[in-house]
Amino acid sequence: MAAAPRPRRRPGAVPVAVSAALAGLLALAALLLGREAPGGLRDGGPVQAATPPPVAKPLWPGLATAPPPVAAAAATPQAPPQPIPDLTVPGHDLTTVDVRTLLAKDPALTADEQRALDSCAGCEVRAPEFRDLTGDGRPELVTAVVTPGPVVLHVYTLAGDRVLPILRVRVQSGFSAETVDSDLWLREPTSTTTQTRTHYHWDGTSLAPLEQKVDGIGLLPHTEPAGDPPYGAVPQPVRPTPKAPGAVVTATPSPVKPAAPAVSPEAKR
């Protein structure tokens, strides 16, 4: 018996199973391509142009500006300090020297300082402080003479058994001083909001100014107007100000009292 003939496919026909498989593969490929691989790169679209930082644009650039700071000229060499006359220090110990005796023998003292040694009104001789300001391991003597005018700061060192003045400087009355290592710093109130700091350093002959700075110390203290009452005070009642003739005064309504009866009640008999 002859076999039955196979059904003939139409040209271009695709089995349903094959079509379903192809559709699944395409969907899987689209899913894999859309996901970012670990550590991979992804196209985020066109790159935005970088914006440069803002640049300062001066107003009125044609106007003259302040000149740059000029470096300070080198200090003029001064003669080395001379020993205080008629004064020797036995034992080479500067801490044993009486400060008033030392100042009285210093020929650089002014007349105001001489009067301060005599205890004038408002005068004072600061107790000596001993700090190593030359770096040799031995202390120098630091004192200040307060006069009715300026304050004069003195620093002395010892050379053998003789005393040498290595600094004499006038400062403001509200000054303060401190030492950092073997350097001296002076602070002076130059205004209500600033102070000047001066740095002195041993140059082998004297204490010379090394640098000077102006620092801000805060804002001006707030002052209340004279008419403001102090905090916690009970305010006084405000009295009405008399109006000028012809001025219109707005009356403040007051509570209305009940009107009296039109007919008086008859007296009881």
Contact predicate 155/81, CB 8 Å = no
Stated pTM of the model: 0.54
Confidence at residue 57, expressed as pLDDT on a 0 to 100 scale: 57
Confidence at residue 168, expressed as pLDDT on a 0 to 100 scale: 96
d(CA 109, CA 122): 18
User: Cα(first)–Cα(last) distance of the chain, in Å?
Assistant: 156
Mean pLDDT, 10 residues at a time, the chain of 269 residues: 55 57 69 53 69 64 43 51 95 95 96 92 93 96 93 96 96 91 91 88 95 73 46 49 49 49 45
Enumerate the domain spans of the chain.
Answer: 90-216
d(CA 202, CA 132): 10
Contact predicate 209/199, CB 8 Å = yes
Confidence at residue 264, expressed as pLDDT on a 0 to 100 scale: 45
Q: How far is CA 133 from CA 16, 40, 67, 149, 176, in A?
A: 104, 68, 37, 27, 17
Confidence at residue 146, expressed as pLDDT on a 0 to 100 scale: 94
d(CA 124, CA 217): 27
Contact predicate 203/223, CB 8 Å = no
